[in-house]
Structure 1
Amino acid sequence: MPSSLLIVESPSKAKTLKKYLGADFEVLASYGHVRDLVPKNGAVDPDKDFAMKYQLIARNSKHVDAIVSAVREADHVYLATDPDREGEAISWHLVQILNGKKLLKDKTAQRVVFHEITKNAVLEAIQNPRDIAQDLVDAQQARRALDYLVGFNLSPLLWKKIRRGLSAGRVQSPALRLICERENEIRAFTAQEYWSVHLDSHKSRTKFSAKLTQLAGKKLEQFDIPNEAEQAAILARLAGQSATVAAIEKKKKTRNPAAPFTTSTLQQEAVRKLGMTTDRAMRTAQQLYEGIDVGQGTVGLITYMRTDSVALAAEAITEIRHYIENKFEPAFLPKSPVAFKNKSKNAQEAHEAIRPTSVYRSPEAVKPFLTSDQFKLYEMIWKRTLACQMAPAKFDTTGIDIAVGEAVFRASGQVLVFAGFLAVYEEDVDDAEDEDSAKLPVLEEGETLPVDKLYGEQHFTQPPPRFTEASLVKALEEYGIGRPSTYASIISTLKDREYVTLDKKRFEPTDTGDIVNKFLTEHFAQYVDYNFTAKLENQLDEIASGQRQWVPVMDSFWKGFKKQITEKEGISRAEVTTENLDEACPKCQKPLMIRFGRRGRFIGCSGYPECDYTRDMNETAESAAAAAEEPTLVEGRDCPECGGQLLIKKGKYGKFIGCANYPKCKHIEPLEKPKDTGVTCPECKTGHLIERKSRYGKLFYSCNTYPKCKYATWNPPIAEPCPQCGWPILTIKTTKRRGTEKVCPQKECGYAVQIAPPEGKEEAAPEGAAD
């Protein structure tokens, strides 16, 4: 029997560690958190020093039972949950459970911490166990209690004042405020016109452009040429003038590598470069950290992925420098290691940045063992880590002033003379740097240049861009809202609650999000204030470092928050969800107002329910009147269900035919007769499959006897039986990867044969190949 028990969070991590530790160790997983606050009011009691009532998480109870049984048999118990506050708290909860069963009377449960899952790191951690760090546990408990008290007191208020099912959160709400405030800036933005003037010239075969920067001895600012008339006047003044090289300025420029990844910068780069969501990036990083079988056993490929430190271990730096020395020219290796300073003042120096556990494990070497996401993320981490210890990139920059009469034009160019770290990791450059990289010919001062073209370009100022996941993470970090490990869950919550939508990968607040944010910023301004949120995060960090006690921090927060909740109980729902308009109702002449319903904001009459006038927010009164035209009679037909008249009506999804006796008779049919495919329904064998549109406009094919027969398929059907399973029909399916195929709609069959290959490929798939 094993004499020692090691407890981790993840079952995949348990498998990896079992191979390192051998027969003397049993390794079990808690499967994440084992206890949580009871899901009802009173789980945190402010009157008793914020005492908390916990219960076992039901889905993990069998895993806890397995741990309890193993502890009875073990001589030594090691708690190897994740190396952060949450991991520390999980270990503490396990000890509380074991103490409650009196299993630790004659044995101790010690904490072991490792930031990478490699054999050496794990064995070293086992040799150096410690007690549970109560300060870290207190910080995590304080965070959980704060989130609970905000959620259980503020969310019900939102239910009463806006709509059931809404939620507010300590860090979620300031994040929503960021998105809503950016949207308000965009709505309030007015574009401003301005012009720039340019000169095109050439020498030999090299063409180049220059921009007007000075006129009559005055340096031009952005709006100094406000309109077309002004730029035309400038062009007229310069017409026919010769161009001369007035000055040449040459400089040497260097660009230093970026620091290795923290959780925040990893998420930002994964969104920008790899097109991942923050949640997907963190799940993939977790897999790389917990371990992958790379042909020589399972090994963790990266260090712990929840960190705000840019520090690297001394042995890691030594290995990276050794790799650079062996794989690159001597100039690529700096004389001394490159050091980086943590931007976060509360960064935990004991932690490392995210790096490969061995730089000698190159992306290409492990690619056969990784999924596409795992490979792309690992390659990015590997390259960034290697690049951070390489020499700076070097550029020769040239600035040329060209005089044309009383005007001075500026041309800039940049040439890379030494790649340095850019040989490994290419970073994003801004537009100005792109312009500076133009190729310039060799010129001399006093040289006359041809004026190929003088012209103006019109520009308009642009509104601030909506947040992407990457820029939102950056803003959250800059404001100190939440912590890097919480960014992905903050974003997921905003999307799940339907407070925001993603349009072209940019966040846009929904009507619900707007109203919730308006309510919180007007009535709970202090608690969605960025500085207040950041200050509270700093206090939690101070609890973790032992500089503060958690109960006084909780008490200070709760007194003000509880008072605010009580004061706002008297607010009416109408105050929160309606807004008066300076427009009369076309039906009854009472004032119109913006109201909030299940589908969002709309314009409705203040005389409701006596007057039922409504229209869409984007509609004018005239367009709404036109849309509300009287239904027209369908000539020569009666309702097949009740014999009443049939009318052409207009609904949410367009025009349709309906019975005039609605709601007594609910017969409806499409205005346009659906296309009949001529294929007999394979299920009822009496109806035909016809083409229909879903509520979202997507085509599908279903039996014309619906609702008697509910058979439907997304792909166009053909009247050919499946040669593999005998199903009466096949369907035509087209994808980018496989081209066009005949496919059996029965998923369990899997029959597919290619008709046409994907674009750019000529060979067809073999007959009968499965999808």
Structure 2
Amino acid sequence: MTNLVIVESPAKAKTIEKYLGKGFTVRSSYGHIRDIQKKGMGIDIANGFSPNYEISADKKKNVAELKKLAKEAESVWLATDEDREGEAIAWHLAEALNLDVSNTRRIVFHEITKPAIEAAVAAPRTVDMDLVNAQQARRILDRIVGFELSPILWKKIRTGLSAGRVQSVAVRLIVEREKEIEAFEAGFSFRVQGKLVLLDDQGLETGEVEVKRSATFDNEEDATAFLQAVSAANLSVLSLEEKPAKRSPKAPFTTSTLQQEAASKLGFSVKQTMMIAQRLYESGKITYMRTDSVNLSEVAIAQAQQSIESAYGAEYVHVRRYKTKQADAQEAHEAIRPTDFNVQEVTGERNEQRLYQLIWRRAIASQMADAQLMRTSVDIAIDSLPSDKLTAKGEVITFDGFLKVYDFGDKSEEGRLPPMKIGQALQLGSLVARQSFARPPARYNEASLVRTLEEMGIGRPSTYAPTIDTIQQRGYVVKEDREGKPRDYRQITLDVGGIQAETLSEMAGSEKNKLFPTDIAGIVTNFLTKHFGEVLDYQFTAKVEDKFDVIAQGNMPWQTMLDDFYKQFHPKVEAAEDVSREEAGQARLLGNHPESALPMYVKIGRFGPYVQIGDGENDEKPTFASLMPGQKMDLITLDDALELFKLPREVGLMPESYSAQAVDGTLFAVEKGQKLIAKQGPFGPYLEYGPKCYAPIKGFDPLNITLEEAAALVEAKIQAEADKIVKTFPGTDVKILKGRWGPYITDLVTKKNAKIAKDEDALQLSLEECQKRLDEAPEPKKRGRAAAKKAPAKKAPAKKAAAKKTPAKKTTAKTKSS
């Protein structure tokens, strides 16, 4: 073997080996091969922040193989990605394979095409240690922050929590937005809009005009008075203005703008977008997908120009050279674009096709002519209200330009107004004054959070997706849809029949794919902001990123930057040891119980927030109750807490017997007269209707659910249990059950599960085949106490302490099936 080329991913390796041909063997490192050792901090702070690196356990076999191939090769080429992360991987490879970093060939390319690969091989360089040091500084600083902050959170708030330089700032943004929403007081106004009928000189109708009053009214009385004045007024065209306008295309995609646009147009999560983009890049269809740059190469511009002219004509071509606004943009050379502009569509998985189309359209549109528009603005006079007016606006596209490929939803006829002239009369069609409520600040979704992080200079393209994924995985943030609530509004309608006022209803406040902070997110954010304000300070976090850029440019030693940070950070860690657990967890005294006079608190526990009666003094055992879904620690009142202790609540007796029979004859039943008890557990409210028999309460308040509603839920649960059984094998504990994703095999004793393929008929499976699959299936994951025993010994005491102080452990054992 003459040349060994090492890339990051196996998919990329296959494509590059095909382009390089004979004399080159291409292998993959499968991403990072080394990281700071997991045991301890892994950083020798006293010795210049020297990191102790180790080869990851799952990469040792691959590294051994690469070592062997490197010894046999005449030349080794490191062809990892062109960003700092890729540069660091190249350096780690050189270190692990005992290569001389000063003369090992390093090649980079922005796209996986034959010309790009050949050009890179023709002009190799060495590993850029400035870029490596910038990445090292980021990794070490983040390890220090996480390693020193997380144990404090375990001791002071709850075991298993984590903190991070970027992740904690992202959580803070979401928590603070939620506080703004909670503090928002919605005002209202009345907005007038509707239609007028245009008349010619003979008084004949010539068309309809959509109009509105630009200013709003503060109350219903003023809105009604305005409509009454219009009903008796003469209306005419006061002024008419037509002027040309244009709309320009946006720059090609950067990482963050791709994530935002894919979310809004395709409904992709940030993580999904990056996974699909990675596949498109590795298969040679698009350029590198982690970039801050909006620039296109001259070769790409020329190719786009030729493609546009060929498909649409020369009048659609408009060459543009975009410049990246951020002074701190990373070292990537180009925006995200297709490697070949002549390829409008690609084969492959559907979402890959959709994302490629989005990238192609955005990039090709950036080199196309402006869309030309004609905008019309009309003021309509009301003779009885000389100081007031109605307005009409229209827009017509006279030349579509870039909108031919990248349409924002504009239509050539949208908003078109009929021909008019000054003084022309109009008559009433219908006008509506509708009560509109002010909206609170919008909650973040993944795309808007990325946009905010980018605008504030927090993080970089490679950090957005893992950061957003981490804060959800750690339980600080949940992404979900929430239904709105009915809201009444007033509407006054004026038409030829007169004025009519009515009260209507609408659904308000519905949310889709929004990021909601959990209670623990608010507690951790408040604690960190109070005691480690600098780490969570938005400007500080952005300035740290700037320092990484300075290191990458070779203008600052990375150890100096870390030393400056640690001198300020570590004393605050030591000071935080004196904070009490109650203060850190924001335990709050709600008041005294009206009957016992015992103090009542709201606290956070291992399984979430709860309220507590009593403080355990004088050998008196406190009592506990979990908060209801939707209740928040910082908003709950004494009265709210007292309501929680009304559970368990006996709803009533089952009015009629109900039973359902499974395919194996098993009878699931509840008898008439069985007590139905509403309870609250750590997983939400549920009904208990017998020994170890539970039915979840969804969409009902356990304090107010009626007997009829409760009985219906129990019947539904019994029927669902019966329907779940697909097949049984008498005399064994093996069953085939219906699960969320279809039928599956289970053993009721060992708790092992085995899969059934979608195209298989579950009813045709024999006991022998089911037993065989169960034997081959992995052992079930242990949960609860069994899982806790597997935790490192160092963390076990903290978990036991948390369990003793929270009531939810006992509750969970009773209510897990709910």
TM over 0.5: yes
Which residue does 1:389 correspond to in 2?
367
Q: How much does 1:98 deviate? A: 2.8
Q: Please state if 1:499 is matched with 2:476.
A: yes
- Aligned pair in 2 of structure 1 residues 208, 246: CA closer, same or farther (>3 Å)? same
Which residue does 1:327 correspond to in 2?
311
Letter of the aligned partner of 1:542 in structure 2? Answer: V
Equivalent position to 1:537, from 545, 548, 571: 545
Cα distance in 1 between the residues matched to 2:532 and 2:480: 29
- Maintained 8 Å contact 1:5/1:25: yes
Which residue does 2:780 correspond to in 1?
none
Equivalent position to 2:149, from 140, 144, 154: 154
Q: Please state if 1:175 is matched with 2:167.
A: no
Q: How much does 1:577 deviate? A: 1.6
- Aligned pair in 2 of structure 1 residues 711, 492: CA closer, same or farther (>3 Å)? closer
- Aligned pair in 2 of structure 1 residues 436, 494: CA closer, same or farther (>3 Å)? farther
Moved more, 626-635 or 180-189: 626-635
- Maintained 8 Å contact 2:7/2:27: yes
Equivalent position to 1:460, from 432, 437, 450: 437
Cα distance in 2 between the residues matched to 1:381 and 1:462: 33
Q: Please state if 1:654 is matched with 2:686.
A: yes
Report SS of the residue matched to 1:247.
strand
- Maintained 8 Å contact 1:699/1:714: no
- Aligned pair in 2 of structure 1 residues 273, 108: CA closer, same or farther (>3 Å)? same
Equivalent position to 2:278, from 266, 286, 292: 286
Q: How much does 1:209 deviate? A: 2.2
Which digits, 9 at most, give the CA deviation of each residue in 1:602-650, with x for residues without a partner? Answer: 2222424623153525483564354344698999x9xxxxxxx986544
Which residue does 2:108 correspond to in 1?
113
- Maintained 8 Å contact 2:728/2:735: no
Percent identity over the alignment is: 39
Q: How much does 1:455 deviate? A: 3.5
Cα distance in 1 between the residues matched to 2:431 and 2:21: 78
- Maintained 8 Å contact 2:83/2:331: no
Which residue does 1:76 correspond to in 2?
75
Superposed CA RMSD = 3.5
Matches within 5 A, 1:709-728: 725=764
Which residue does 2:192 correspond to in 1?
197
Which digits, 9 at most, give the CA deviation of each residue in 1:213-250, with x for residues without a partner? Answer: 3xxxxxx4x5xx21111212222333301001000111
Q: How much does 1:657 deviate? A: 3.7
Equivalent position to 2:293, from 306, 309, 313: 309
Q: How much does 1:679 deviate? A: 11
- Aligned pair in 2 of structure 1 residues 707, 373: CA closer, same or farther (>3 Å)? closer
Which residue does 2:179 correspond to in 1?
184
Q: Please state if 1:399 is matched with 2:377.
A: yes
Q: How much does 1:701 deviate? A: 9.9
Letter of the aligned partner of 1:414 in structure 2? Answer: E
- Aligned pair in 2 of structure 1 residues 122, 714: CA closer, same or farther (>3 Å)? closer
Which digits, 9 at most, give the CA deviation of each residue in 1:526-559, with x for residues without a partner? Answer: 1111110001001101111122221111111111
Matches within 5 A, 1:304-453: 304-334=288-318, 337-348=319-330, 351-363=333-345, 366-367=346-347, 370-405=348-383, 406=386, 407-427=388-408, 437-453=414-430
Report SS of the residue matched to 1:452.
strand
Which digits, 9 at most, give the CA deviation of each residue in 1:321-344, with x for residues without a partner? Answer: 01111111222112xx21212122
Equivalent position to 1:520, from 502, 520, 528: 528
- Aligned pair in 2 of structure 1 residues 706, 12: CA closer, same or farther (>3 Å)? closer
- Maintained 8 Å contact 1:679/1:689: no
Q: Please state if 1:627 is matched with 2:605.
A: no
Cα distance in 1 between the residues matched to 2:234 and 2:754: 72
Matches within 5 A, 1:662-741: 672=714, 674-675=718-719, 682-685=727-730, 725=764
Letter of the aligned partner of 1:132 in structure 2? Answer: V
Q: How much does 1:510 deviate? A: 0.8
Which residue does 1:732 correspond to in 2?
none
Report SS of the residue matched to 1:6.
strand
- Aligned pair in 2 of structure 1 residues 19, 443: CA closer, same or farther (>3 Å)? same
Letter of the aligned partner of 2:207 in structure 1? Answer: T
Moved more, 434-443 or 681-690: 681-690
Matches within 5 A, 1:139-150: 139-150=134-145
Letter of the aligned partner of 1:47 in structure 2? Answer: A
- Maintained 8 Å contact 1:262/1:309: yes
Letter of the aligned partner of 2:679 in structure 1? Answer: G
Report SS of the residue matched to 2:465.
helix
Cα distance in 1 between the residues matched to 2:12 and 2:186: 54
Cα distance in 2 between the residues matched to 1:542 and 1:484: 17
Which digits, 9 at most, give the CA deviation of each residue in 1:485-518, with x for residues without a partner? Answer: 1100000100100101112210000111111111
Matches within 5 A, 1:262-301: 262-291=254-283, 300-301=284-285
Cα distance in 2 between the residues matched to 1:669 and 1:441: 65
- Maintained 8 Å contact 1:588/1:611: no
Cα distance in 2 between the residues matched to 1:301 and 1:707: 49
Report SS of the residue matched to 2:281.
helix
Which digits, 9 at most, give the CA deviation of each residue in 1:642-701, with x for residues without a partner? Answer: xxx986544335332446xxxxxxx6577857348699973333799999999xxx8999
Which residue does 1:557 correspond to in 2?
565
- Maintained 8 Å contact 1:580/1:594: yes
- Aligned pair in 2 of structure 1 residues 668, 321: CA closer, same or farther (>3 Å)? closer
Cα distance in 1 between the residues matched to 2:614 and 2:27: 63
- Maintained 8 Å contact 1:587/1:611: no
Q: Please state if 1:592 is matched with 2:600.
A: yes
Cα distance in 2 between the residues matched to 1:435 and 1:605: 67
Which digits, 9 at most, give the CA deviation of each residue in 1:162-181, with x for residues without a partner? Answer: 11111100100110011111
Letter of the aligned partner of 2:621 in structure 1? Answer: E
- Aligned pair in 2 of structure 1 residues 151, 655: CA closer, same or farther (>3 Å)? same
Q: How much does 1:520 deviate? A: 1.1
Letter of the aligned partner of 2:625 in structure 1? Answer: T
Report SS of the residue matched to 2:623.
coil
Letter of the aligned partner of 2:449 in structure 1? Answer: L
TM-score, normalization: structure 2?
Answer: 0.77
- Maintained 8 Å contact 1:98/1:104: no
- Aligned pair in 2 of structure 1 residues 587, 39: CA closer, same or farther (>3 Å)? farther
Cα distance in 1 between the residues matched to 2:588 and 2:725: 57
- Maintained 8 Å contact 2:611/2:641: no
Q: Please state if 1:43 is matched with 2:42.
A: yes
Cα distance in 2 between the residues matched to 1:88 and 1:679: 53
Q: Structure 2: 5+ residue runs without aligned partners? A: 199-204, 482-512, 632-638, 658-672, 696-710, 768-772, 777-818
Moved more, 307-316 or 609-618: 609-618
- Aligned pair in 2 of structure 1 residues 190, 391: CA closer, same or farther (>3 Å)? same
Which residue does 1:66 correspond to in 2?
65
Cα distance in 1 between the residues matched to 2:68 and 2:591: 72
- Aligned pair in 2 of structure 1 residues 474, 190: CA closer, same or farther (>3 Å)? same
Cα distance in 2 between the residues matched to 1:412 and 1:580: 55
Cα distance in 2 between the residues matched to 1:67 and 1:706: 44
Which digits, 9 at most, give the CA deviation of each residue in 1:331-363, with x for residues without a partner? Answer: 2112xx212121221224651001111111221
- Aligned pair in 2 of structure 1 residues 510, 724: CA closer, same or farther (>3 Å)? closer
Q: How much does 1:712 deviate? A: 10
- Aligned pair in 2 of structure 1 residues 680, 598: CA closer, same or farther (>3 Å)? closer
